[in-house]
A = this chain, B = another copy of it.
Amino acid sequence: MALEHAILVSLLEKPGSGYELARRFERSIGYFWTATHQQIYRVLKRMEADGLLDVREVPQQGRPDKKEYSVATPGRTALSQWLHEPIEPESVRHDLAVKIRGAAFDDPAALIREVERHHRAHSGRLAHYLAGEQRDFTGPEAPAPPDAGQELQHVVLRGGIAYERMTLAWLDDVLATLHRLHAGH
C-alpha cells in the first residue's frame, strides 16, 4: 500500500496532476517505485475521497484542463504515521535470476543475448542517474548549502547508483559464467 505514500511524498515535494505524477513515476520517484497512469488516477480518486488530498481544477489554454492535487492535513498525518511504523525489508523478485537457474534445463548459451540486453539497460540507467546527480547535486548549478530534502533525495539517488553499479558487475559475472559453460569446460 505504499503507492499512496509515494504519491503523498511526491505531492509534498510539488503539487501536480495525475498526468504529472505519472511522468514523475517514470523518472525521479519512479527510480524506486513504479506506477502507471491507470493506477495513479484510481488511487488519486480514492485518496481525494478519503480526504487525504485537495483538488483544484486548473483551466489551461491550448491544453486540456487539469486537476491539480495537493496534500491535505489528513494526508500529512497519514504519511507521518506511516513513517513511524516499521516496515519489513522488502522481498525481491528477479525474473532474470529465475531464468538463469532455469537455463540449467535448457540452453545456457541462449541466455547470453538476454543478459547482454539487461546489461545495456542498466548501463543506460546508471548514466541517467549520474547525469541527474551532476545536474542536481554535484554540478556547478547545484545549490551550495543543500537543505535536508536535497540531502535525502541525494542519498536515495546514491542508492540507485550503487544498485546499478552492483548489478552491472554481477551481470558481467553472469556473462563470464555463461561463456565458461558454453566453452564446454
Contacts and interface: CB of A to CB of B under 8 A. Distances in A.
Interface of A: 2, 5-6, 8-9, 12-13, 29-34, 76, 79-80, 82-84, 86-87, 89-106, 108, 110-111, 114, 117-118, 121-122, 148-149, 151-156, 158-159, 162-163, 165-166, 169-170, 173-174, 177, 180-181
Contacts of A151: 177, 180-181
A34 B93 contact: yes
B159 A97 contact: yes
Given A108-B148, A108-B152, A180-B151, A89 B121 contact: yes
A24 to B, nearest CB: 12
A92 B32 contact: yes
A32 B102 contact: no
**Number of copies of this chain that the complex holds:** 2
A92 B177 CA distance: 25
A169 B104 CA distance: 32
Contacts of A162: 166, 169-170
25 contacts: A2-B95, A5-B98, A9-B98, A12-B104, A29-B101, A30-B91, A32-B92, A34-B91, A34-B93, A79-B105, A80-B105, A82-B99, A83-B99, A83-B106, A86-B117, A87-B114, A89-B96, A90-B96, A92-B163, A100-B152, A101-B149, A104-B148, A155-B174, A158-B173, A162-B166
A149 B126 CA distance: 31
A117 B87 CA distance: 9
A174 to B, nearest CB: 5
A7 to B, nearest CB: 10
